[in-house]
Every structure is written in structure tokens, then in C-alpha cells.
Structure 1
Amino acid sequence: MDRASPPRRRHHGSRRDPAINDAVLDAARTLLVTRGYAGTSIDLIAATAKVSRPAVYRRWRTKAHLIHEAAFPDLGPDPCEADLSAEIARLCRGALAMYADPVVREAVPGLLHDLRMEPAMRRLLNDRLEAAARRQLAAQLADAADARSGVDADTVMDAIAGAAWYAVCVRRVTDLDAAAAQLADLVCHGVLRRD
């Protein structure tokens, strides 16, 4: 009598426990604020999260990838404002608020350094943070009747991001609403056609 052998189970590796991901990301955020980027190591993150070092490296290839995800969690692009001036104001408020977050403020200098060392990190930063917003703004600029011809969405986004970072991280601006309004006004004067 032939017995059917039991079906073979495929082994796809261990299931990732989302609680470990959350603990590691929370530990990274806490350590960034208390110790800065340079003082935040994978070993310290693992110890703070009460997980093993290999558990961290199974999830993130490098410290920069981990810190990037901790500082910039996956968020879908926000809906655009219909009016170009309102959209620029929204982008200015968003950039200032993002850089004002203590985790982001501590993460950015180290991540910028790592961008120089690893081109793949540069693509990751662009893809996760800005690519969708840049495409949305480019489409809006192309359709806006009141936009000057030849205005480049990348340049507008660079101006907003650079000014917001400098205002918050270097000048330590605290009145984000006033800074956003002033920045939006300045950017709009460069973008919109004046009759």
C-alpha cells in the first residue's frame, strides 16, 4: 500500500516581527535626539531596542538606511493645492515643519555625508522624500497660466528645501508660520509672471 508523502513545506525564511521594526525605529529616533547621528550606532540601537544586532541588519542594510526610515517614515504624497501660490505655500510649510522635527534635524547632516559615500542612498532619499512632490509640482507649473515660462520644478523644490533647512537648522527659526509665509512670498515672486 502506497502512502502519500505529506506535502513539503516551503521555507521562506522567518517572518519579520513588526514589533521588532517598531522597537528599532523608535530606539533610533530616541538616540538621534539624545546622541546625534554620529553617536547613534547599530549596536546602541539594537541594545536600546532590546534586539540582536543581526535582527537589525536583516531589516536594514546600513545605518544610513535605518536612520533614513526612522527620520522619514513612508508617507504618501499629500494632495496638491489647486492654486499654484497655495501649493508653494503648502510646500514651504511642509519643508519647515519637517526640518523642525528634532529627529530629522539630527539625522540630516549624517545622511548628507552618507549621500556622498553611497549613490544608492541618494536615489533612496530622492525616491522616498521628493520624487512624487517634484513630479506634482512640475505638472502644476506646466499647467499654470500665471507661471513664468522656463521655471523648473527641481529648482523651485531645491530653493524651498534649502531655505527651509537653513532657516530651521542653522538660524534656528522658531516661528515656522512666519518663515513659511515669507519663503512662499519670495518663491512666488520668482515663479509667477507679474504683469
Structure 2
Amino acid sequence: MTRTLAAAALALAACGRLDQVDITRSASVNVPGVPGAPAGSIPAIQALDIGGGDQLRAEGIDPGDVDSAKLRRLSLEVTAGASLEAWVDSVSIYVETAGQPRILLASRSGISALPAGTTLVDLDVNPGVDLKPYLTAASAPLTVEATGSAPDVNTTVKVTASIRVDVNVSGLLN
């Protein structure tokens, strides 16, 4: 019976269902309004920290069991203030941590050409980036760099990252 259970668990793991967990990290940032701000007046903002073993443990994941982690989705959503197309032309989001290179996670250009009232934008994710060393680090802040001009009014933007974590399940089979 134990061999049958182990074989079933191994079969599920091979299919990629048992060993993958989707986690979400989100945070809101405030962008001060500057009426009539000139182009290029959007400062870089540290928006979200995806690192931290304690956060992983709280979600039932031992940091030592993480095999890899891939960004699935990164979005910006205005929750108060000016819509995105009114003040943002393009955006790039980077992650960094001690001992690792600063890498581009996602970007999007042409935001200013989107329809009036655009409050949610999905960014184009940089494929192939393994977030494991960033996700399991003590701290791994995301930095948002944008072109355009500061919004006319104080604006709150929610940054949300969806990450698929591949977890080592070999301990279940012992």
C-alpha cells in the first residue's frame, strides 16, 4: 500500500502538479501628485520585497525545498488617483539582492497610448528568469522605473507579482 501511495505521489510530481505552488506578493505605493510636472519627473520607487524565508514558511514552503521560482504575472493597478495612461509612458521592474545581479523582471511600453481610464496593466514578463535566489534571500526589493511625468494628483498603485514555485517533494516519498 505504501509503495502504491509513493508511486501515485511520484506520478503526480512528474506531471508538475504536486510540486508547484503559486504565490502572490503585492504592495501599494503612493506616487505624489505634481500638477503640470515635466516629462521625466517620475522617480524610481522600491515597491515590493519578494524575499524572505519567513514569508515562504508562512505559506507552508521551506526555503530549502525551493528548486526554482518563475514570475508568471506582474501587474500595476491604480487603486486611487490618476489612470495610468495619463502619466506613464513605459515601466520596467527590476529585482536585486545581495550577491546576485540586478535583473529586469518585466516591462511595458506604450502605456500612454492605452485607452483613457486604464487602471490595470499587465507587464511583459522576462521569460527564463529563475527567482529562487531572490525569493529565498532575506530581502529582494523590486524597483519600479517609469518614464512619463508625475501624475497631477496623488495616486496609489498596487504592484502584484504572481510567482510559480517549484518545490522539491522528495521528502514525501521517503
Normalising by structure 2, report the TM-score. Answer: 0.33
Q: Which has the higher contact order (CA 8 A, sep 6+)?
A: 2
Larger strand proportion of the pair:
2
Query: Larger C-alpha radius of gyration, 1 or 2?
Result: 1
Larger helix proportion of the pair:
1
